[in-house]
């Protein structure tokens, strides 16, 4: 029996509740294989290609590129059916079990998915994608169809939203759907003139012409309200408006929450990084059996952070506000700030306390490349316990970073530049860096924070101190 299956936006994990459509990977009329990616979406964590758990013909898509959909909203509908005796590629009419406005593809399609999606099953091999001409689409005539009539503005909008939620109607062309949306026209109120009640563009255009023109109402002016063109207390500010969505929206929410909940404080110190840079040059210049991958400054600083956190574990913690408890965390999952075209992201190096500088550097390089290409997984952007922020790459010396909620501290590193410095009692030109630590004052007092920062500075100035913890 032919059947139309509705594929809804699945739960992508990590507590995500919505996603924005970035790019459709299929068109209406395409035949998709089971587990074939059908749409690319952007969540607050990463860019994700969403696979479809069904195989068949795409009969409808819900949402244009740039549309933000909640989890559970329809993404598209896929028609599946049985093989015609002649083996020709035609579409057969959907039976009662196929759902409203159903269409089915001629050609047996398995309906199981090998991909684990919340709310969808597993199993069955993929099939080859091919293009199917939609002329054979058959759908029942819209029930209780009535001549198109004008709807009030609120009713039209409600009808449009309901159409998006309830699923497919007897329309193949996305242009027809778009035309109807632009004029707030409920397609379920139209009787299609095409085969078996298919709604054509001519039907929509005819309904639009029959709609009475809405009179332009003068804006109501309430006593005390500012006249048009005058800036009042509630007037919307003029200028370009950029929606806070995706990564930018997630960053805005997290930073605002951090400022609301965390009583932070910042301390900083200048350090002579000459010896650290010399040690790095020696590592990267080694040949023969001692040769290895290049070690970055960020990797060395990350290794210093893990050694410092082992001495001051109160900074590797979080606050359980409901239980009124400080939770000291046994593992160090070290986040590092990375600027990408999509905005600021903080990939996380898992179990950094078990890694040496070379291993940390390799993982930072892998995560940085994934961040730049937009292929980071949500799990690689969450679960951090401490963050390292190298803002020196922007050519600045100091900063007071905002803590990455719900962590308890963040170490900021400025640029390393030649400066006059007193070294061994004499004035010399040394390579100096400013280090700043922003910490949650609930988890520790200034003594612990100052001790942590001083230890980091000492390791920067005398890298041999790290030999104690190797």
Mean pLDDT by 10 residues, the chain (470 residues): 82 72 90 89 77 90 87 89 44 40 39 49 45 45 39 42 48 64 79 76 82 56 49 65 80 89 96 96 85 91 96 96 95 92 87 95 94 86 94 90 94 96 95 97 95 97 83
With beta carbons less than 8 A apart as the criterion, state whether 9 and 48 touch: no
Q: How many residues does the chain have?
A: 470
Place of tokens 């309901």: 162
Report H helices in 220-273. Answer: 246-261
Q: What is the model's pLDDT at position 144? A: 39
Q: What is the model's pLDDT at position 236? A: 67
In order, the DSSP letters of 205-229 are HHHHHHSPPPP-PPPP--TTPPPTT
Q: What is the model's pLDDT at position 375? A: 86
Nearest residue to 26 (alpha-carbon basis) of 7, 2, 12: 7
Q: What is the model's pLDDT at position 199? A: 82
pTM score: 0.58
With beta carbons less than 8 A apart as the criterion, state whether 100 and 167 touch: yes
Q: What is the model's pLDDT at position 213? A: 59
Nearest residue to 254 (alpha-carbon basis) of 358, 186, 339, 345: 345
Q: What is the model's pLDDT at position 13? A: 63
Q: What is the model's pLDDT at position 137? A: 45
With beta carbons less than 8 A apart as the criterion, state whether 111 and 55 touch: yes
Q: What is the model's pLDDT at position 45? A: 63
Q: Rounded to an integer, what distance in angstroms lies between the CA atom of residue 255 and that of residue 344?
A: 12
- How many CA atoms, within 13 angstroms, populate the side-chain half-sphere of residue 179? 17
Place of tokens 């085969």: 195
Q: Rounded to an integer, what distance in angstroms lies between the CA atom of residue 10 and that of residue 73?
A: 8
Q: What is the model's pLDDT at position 268? A: 95
Q: Rounded to an integer, what distance in angstroms lies between the CA atom of residue 21 and that of residue 63?
A: 8
* Active-site entry in 183, 333, 405, 441: 441
| Catalytic residue flag (residue 333) | no
Q: Residue 343: enclosing H or E segment and its boundaries?
A: strand 343-345
Q: What is the model's pLDDT at position 363? A: 96
Q: What is the model's pLDDT at position 197? A: 75
């Amino acid at each position: 029996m032919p059947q139309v299956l509705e594929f809804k936006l699945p739960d992508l994990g990590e507590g995500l509740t919505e996603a924005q459509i970035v790019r459709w990977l299929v068109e209406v009329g395409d035949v998709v294989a089971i587990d074939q990616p059908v749409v690319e979406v952007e969540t607050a964590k990463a860019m994700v290609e969403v696979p479809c758990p069904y195989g068949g013909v795409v009969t409808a898509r819900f949402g244009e590129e740039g549309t933000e959909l909640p989890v559970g909203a329809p993404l598209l509908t896929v028609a599946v059916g049985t093989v015609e005796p002649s083996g020709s590629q035609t579409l057969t009419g959907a039976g009662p079990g196929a759902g409203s406005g159903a269409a089915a593809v001629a050609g047996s399609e398995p309906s199981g998915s090998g991909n684990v999606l919340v709310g969808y099953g597993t199993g069955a091999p993929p099939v080859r994608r091919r293009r199917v001409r939609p002329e054979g689409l058959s759908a029942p005539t819209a029930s209780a169809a009535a001549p198109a009539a004008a709807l009030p503005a609120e009713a039209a909008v409600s009808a449009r939203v309901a159409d998006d939620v309830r699923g497919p109607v007897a329309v193949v062309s996305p242009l027809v759907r778009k035309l109807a949306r632009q004029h707030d026209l409920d397609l379920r109120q139209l009787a299609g003139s095409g085969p078996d009640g298919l709604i054509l563009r001519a039907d929509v255009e005819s309904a639009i012409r029959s709609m009475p023109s809405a009179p332009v109402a003068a804006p109501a002016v309430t006593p005390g309200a500012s006249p048009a063109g005058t800036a009042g207390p509630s007037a919307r500010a003029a200028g370009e408006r950029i929606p806070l969505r995706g990564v930018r929206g997630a960053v805005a929410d997290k930073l605002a929450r951090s400022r609301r909940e965390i009583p932070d404080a910042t301390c900083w110190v200048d350090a002579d990084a000459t010896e650290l840079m010399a040690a790095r040059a020696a590592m990267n210049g080694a040949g023969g059996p001692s040769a290895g991958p290049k070690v970055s400054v960020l990797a060395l600083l990350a290794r210093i952070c893990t050694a410092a956190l082992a001495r001051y574990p109160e900074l590797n913690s979080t606050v359980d506000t409901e239980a009124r408890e400080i939770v000291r965390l046994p593992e160090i999952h070290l986040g590092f700030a990375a600027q990408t075209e999509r905005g600021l992201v903080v990939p996380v190096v898992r179990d950094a306390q078990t890694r040496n500088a070379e291993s940390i550097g390799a993982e930072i390089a892998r995560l940085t490349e994934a961040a730049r290409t937009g292929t980071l997984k949500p799990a690689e952007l969450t679960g951090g316990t401490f963050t390292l922020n190298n803002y020196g790459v922007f050519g600045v010396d100091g900063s007071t970073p905002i803590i990455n909620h719900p962590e308890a501290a963040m170490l900021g590193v400025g640029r390393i530049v030649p400066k006059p410095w007193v070294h061994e009692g004499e004035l010399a030109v040394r390579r100096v860096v400013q280090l700043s630590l922003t910490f949650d004052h609930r988890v520790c007092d200034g003594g612990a924070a100052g001790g942590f920062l001083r230890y980091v500075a000492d390791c920067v100035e005398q890298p041999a101190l790290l030999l104690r913890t190797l």
